Amino acid sequence: MKLESIKTIGVAGAGAMGAGIAQVFAQAGFEVVLFDVNEQQLEKAKTEITKNLDQAVSKEKISKNDRDEALKKISFSSDLNSLKADLVIEAIVEKLEAKQDLFKKLAAFNSAETIFATNTSSIPITRIAKDIPNLKRVVGMHFFNPAHLMKLVEVITGAETSDQVAETLKDLSLKLGKTPVMCKDSPGFIVNRVARHYYVESLKMLEENVAPKESIDALMESAGFKMGPFKLMDFVGNDINFAVTSSLFESFHHDAKFRPSRVQQQKVDAGHLGRKTGKGFYNYN
């Protein structure tokens, strides 16, 4: 499928990433269906998208008419059958089986030409594509949080992904005003493989009482990083960050340099996920 053939977009998962991705496509003029099994999550996503667009209007980045038109382009649905589109992007839980199951269900009622893209942060595309009908159309399209602001998009080819599909998503990313980088399948791809140690080494220093989190954050910010590692983990969500680290640890056959942190696992077990729960490494209440 070529770029000009893509008219409708389906986004599975109405969390922070899914909502942001839906907003990006709507602002670019595409018809978008945002799906989630949770009705409350859909309402939350609608509120968040509206808030983001209102902020853009207040900063004079878009007009009120642009805001209204973007909102008209997005429909919200808890019916999986509504995800019939030219391109479907999944932004659901970071679990291989869940992603495979979703694409298998979508393949049953979508065209054989529909592109299935995954926003996975770490799971190899080749593993996700396994057993999906017409697996040449399965590709990685990894946005970064917050998706409506961050420019980078990783376009990842699995072992069977067609060159045409990859080029189409590259062109599509450019149309969205993003900066696409092309990469081959590998655990964590480019950014998460490189950046993982920003988190892992910081967590090790905290575990070993080398320095408190406040000092580590302050030092990294003074070195030029916009957010220190603990502030960033709270922003992303400790559950998501921990899941990505665990996935890389598994994919690299338990290489010690990717070992998940017991400190972060305790945060997840306690429900201290960061900003979204009001408490993580820091308090936000």
With beta carbons less than 8 A apart as the criterion, state whether 123 and 154 touch: no
- pLDDT for 1 equals 79
> Hey, what amino acid is at 7?
K
Residue in this structure with the two tokens 């945060």, named with its chain if needed: 267
State whether 163 and 47 are in the same domain. yes
**Model confidence at 285, in pLDDT bands (50, 70, 90)?**
confident
* 282 falls within a domain: no
Rounded CA separation 238/195 (Å):
15
Please say which residue of 184, 206, 234 terminates a domain. 184
Please give the DSSP secondary-structure letter assigned to residue 9.
E
Q: Can you give the pTM of this predicted structure?
A: 0.89
pLDDT at res. 85: 98
pLDDT for residue 2 is more than 90: no
For residues 212 and 110, state if they share a domain. Answer: no
**Domain limit, last residue, from 138, 159, 184:** 184
Total residues belonging to the chain: 285
Across the chain, mean pLDDT equals 96
Q: Decide if 251 contacts 121 (C-beta within 8 A).
A: no
Distances (CA, A) of 133 to 80, 137, 209: 18, 9, 50
Domain end among 184, 201, 225: 184
Q: For residue 192, indicate whether it is catalytic.
A: yes
Phi and psi at residue 128, to the nearest 5°: -65, -40
Q: What is the pLDDT of residues 60-119, one digit of tens each?
A: 999 999 999 999 999 999 999 999 999 999 999 989 999 999 999 999 999 999 999 999
The residue range of the domain holding 265 is 192-276
Percent of the chain with pLDDT over 90: 95
Residue 81 annotated among the catalytic residues of the structure: no
Given the residues 110, 119, 121, 247, select the one marked as catalytic.
Answer: 121
Q: Are 169 and 46 part of one and the same domain?
A: yes
**pLDDT tier, 258 (very low <50, low <70, confident <90, very high otherwise):** very high
Please check whether residue 112 lies inside any domain of the structure. Answer: yes
Average pLDDT on 139-168 reads 96
Provide mean pLDDT across the span 125-129.
96
Instruction: Work out the percent of the chain whose per-residue pLDDT is above 70.
Output: 100
pLDDT of residue 229: 97
Say if residue 179 is in the same domain as residue 217: no
Q: Quick check: 274 and 236 in contact, CB under 8 A?
A: yes
**Cα separation of 233 and 66, whole Å?**
33
Burial of 266 (0-12, 13-18, 19+ CB in 10 A): exposed
Which helix (H) or strand (E) segment is 35 a member of? Answer: strand 31-35
Give the CATH number, domain containing residue 99: 3.40.50.720
Q: Which of the following is catalytic: 192, 202, 247, 261?
A: 192
CB contact set of 7 (below 8 Å; sequence gap of 6+): 30, 31, 86
In a domain, 145, yes or no: yes
Structurally, the chain folds into a number of domains equal to 2
Considering the domain architecture, whether residues 56 and 131 belong to the same structural domain is answered as: yes
49 and 74 share one domain: yes
Q: Are residues 250 and 168 in the same domain?
A: no
Burial, 134: exposed, middle or buried (Cβ in 10 Å; 0-12, 13-18, 19+)? middle
Q: In this model, does residue 199 exceed pLDDT 90?
A: yes
Q: Are residues 166 and 199 located together in one domain of the fold?
A: no
Q: For residue 115, is it within any domain?
A: yes
As a whole number, mean pLDDT of residues 6-28 equals 97
Domain presence at residue 283: no
- Of 52, 154, 238, 241, which residue is the catalytic one? 154
Considering only CA atoms, give the Rg of the chain: 19
| pLDDT beyond 90 at 283 | yes
Q: Is residue 49 part of a domain?
A: yes
pLDDT, residue 47, reads: 97
Place of tokens 């059958």: 81
36 and 65 in a single domain? The answer is yes
- Give the Cα separation of 102 and 80 in Å (integer): 9
In a domain, 284, yes or no: no
Residue 144 has pLDDT above 90, yes or no: yes
> Is there a domain that residue 255 lies in?
yes
207 assigned to active site? no
Residue from 142, 238, 247, 261 carrying the catalytic annotation: 142
Among 86, 117, 78, residue whose Cα is nearest residue 99: 117
DSSP state at residue 118: E
154 is catalytic: yes
What does the alpha-carbon distance between residue 157 and residue 138 come to, in Å, rounded to a whole number?
8
Whole-angstrom Cα distance, residue 238 to residue 28?
31
